[in-house]
Each structure stands twice: as structure tokens, then as C-alpha cells.
Amino acid sequence: MSEPIRVLVTGAAGQIAYSLLYSIGNGSVFGKDQPIILVLLDITPMMGVLDGVLMELQDCALPLLKDVIATDKEDVAFKDLDVAILVGSMPRRDGMERKDLLKANVKIFKCQGAALEKYAKKTVKVIVVGNPANTNCLTACKSAPSIPKENFSCLTRLDHNRAKAQIALKLGVTSDDVKNVIIWGNHSSTQYPDVSHAKVKLHGKEVGVYDALKDDSWLKGEFITTVQQRGAAVIKARKLSSAMSAAKAICDHVRDIWFGTPEGEFVSMGIISDGNPYGIPDDLLYSFPVTIKNKTWKVVEGLTINDFSREKMDLTAKELAEEKETAFEFLSSA
């Protein structure tokens, strides 16, 4: 058995965490021989609920869980972390402007970034899930200057998985038969789900998704809007936001960071845009196609970008630049 790793989940009394914690504890994310010290952080009013979650984790009797720590204190939560999964954020309330949402979250992620800087290992991998995820991630990253920027990523894997699933459903194959879809940009309704480089396994051979479907108008229209607005559709139906699928996507994202991506496959994640080969401005937290090896991501290079894609990629970059500007106004005063 290896040494235990310390893994933090914030917003640990919430819905997504409730679907996530068991998968982390049972070895599906970090491997069946990796012991874990699981740290659960939430706000003080949620500590009663968090105690219930702690009891349930104990009752799961998971052999890999060496310890579970539930806390509302940042100095306890962020100490010596190997992995931080930042799920907790201020949710958008009815009638709340996106600007107000940004302001509330800048404050949270500035604090958490500072706590990472002060208490966590410098090798910590930080995954931001709480929305607006890209800008929250950038805020945390800026607030932890001694942790490498490359260690910060935000979740666009849920959008990636949604795109895969839509293609699979349309073609009557399983999601596993679809690979190399891309989510470009922001985890918002401006994101660009791109299948122009995606492949699907049909009758034993790999073909491009456009060739397989022969339905360009669906791929350039309804497919994109379905993926962009899927989160809202789930809320409308469930009266709650995506939790099971979000937790599954977090597991996929973190497992790929830990173990790498399969040969010939790439995945989507929000990462720092510095020096990217696709003309996206530097210093944005933007979702790109990446391959991962030795816990290090690399943007996939050499993909041809047509005019249709270019316009959509620039549009979501513009939204991210505006969000960043708004957030950073608050950041200096937070």
C-alpha cells in the first residue's frame, strides 16, 4: 500500500459531493491501492448535515479511507493537500445578475486560493467545479501565486460527456464508441461543443462524426444548443441541478489527471490559455482539448479550425475576457 494522499472536497454537504464522495472513497478515482485521507469542508451552518455525511462514509466501511475529517475551518481543510476539488460556490438565486454571482464567488475563491497558497502542498492539483467555474478557477489561481498555474483546472468534462452522449444516442452506439469531442471555452451557454475532429466506431471501424451522421444542420444547430443548455434542461425537469452526472464527470476529470488519457484520445478541461496554439488570448481559463501524461496536461496541437468554429471559439473567449474583467475589479477590493 502506498502512503495516503490528502483529498479535499468543498461544498461537502451539498448534492454533487453526496454523489462524489463514495466514488473517491471506493478507489474508482485514485486506484484500488491508494489510501486516502478525505477532508470535507463546508460553511458553518451546514456542519449538522456534514456530520450526517461523515456518518454515512463511516458506515460505508471503505478500506481505502484511512481518515475522514469534516471541518468548517480553512486552516484544517487546506493543510498538506495533494488534491483539492472545489465544488462549493455561491449558487445563482432567482433574479440574481451574473455580475452579482461573480462578485460573491470572487470573494470565496480568493479566500480559498489564499488558503491553498498558505497551507497546501505546492504540488497540489486543484479542480474547480463551483460556477462560474472558469473565472472562479482563475481567481483561485491568481490568489495562489506560488502554486504552478498548470496545477489549476476547471470542469468542462460534464459538457464533454454530454456531447459524447448526444452523438452516441443519435447514432445508436454507446458513449464509449465516441471519442475526441471538444468543448471550447467557458462552462456557460457560450461554450462550443465541437465534433469536427471526433470519431465514432461504426461496424468495427472508426469514422469521423460528420461522415457518420451526414446531418450537418443538426450538428451545427440542435446538437450544439442541446449541449449548451443541458444543465438548464435538467434543472427544469428535476427542480435541482445536475449532481449524479456532475460527480461522474469530476471522477473522469480527476482520474485522467492522475492516470493520464488513453493513447489517441483527448479530453476537455478548462486550463490557463497561456501560449496556446489556437489564437485564444493569454491569461484566460479556457477549455481546450488536452492529453495528459505524468499528471501533466498538454493542449492538442494541429487541429484545423474552420470559420464556423473560429467564430464560436472567439465568442466564448470574449465572454471569458468580460467575466475576468468584472471579477478582477472585485478582486482588488475583495
51 is in an annotated binding site: no
Instruction: Give the span between the Cα atoms of 190 and 287, in whole angstroms.
Output: 12
Q: How many CA atoms lie within 13 A of 224 on its CB side?
A: 20
105 is in an annotated binding site: yes
Instruction: Give the span between the Cα atoms of 83 and 254, in whole angstroms.
Output: 9
Burial class for 240, CB neighbours closer than 10 Å (0-12, 13-18, 19+): exposed
Instruction: Give the span between the Cα atoms of 54 and 34, in whole angstroms.
Output: 20
157 is in an annotated binding site: no
Q: Describe the crossing of helices 244-259 and 157-171 by its angle, rounded to 10 degrees.
A: 110
42 is in an annotated binding site: yes
98 is in an annotated binding site: yes
130 is in an annotated binding site: yes
What angle is formed at CA 287 by the lines to CA 262 and CA 39, rounded to 5 degrees? Answer: 75
Instruction: Give the span between the Cα atoms of 49 and 64, in whole angstroms.
Output: 23
126 is in an annotated binding site: no
Nine-digit cell string for 255 = 482520474
Catalytic (active-site) positions: 187
92 is in an annotated binding site: yes
Nine-digit cell string for 151 = 496545477
Cβ(28)–Cβ(255) under 8 Å? yes
Cβ(178)–Cβ(198) under 8 Å? yes
Burial class for 276, CB neighbours closer than 10 Å (0-12, 13-18, 19+): middle
Which residues are documented as binding site?
42, 92, 98, 105, 129-131, 162
Which residues fall in the annotated binding site for NAD(+)? 42, 105, 129-131
List residues forming the annotated binding site for substrate: 92, 98, 131, 162
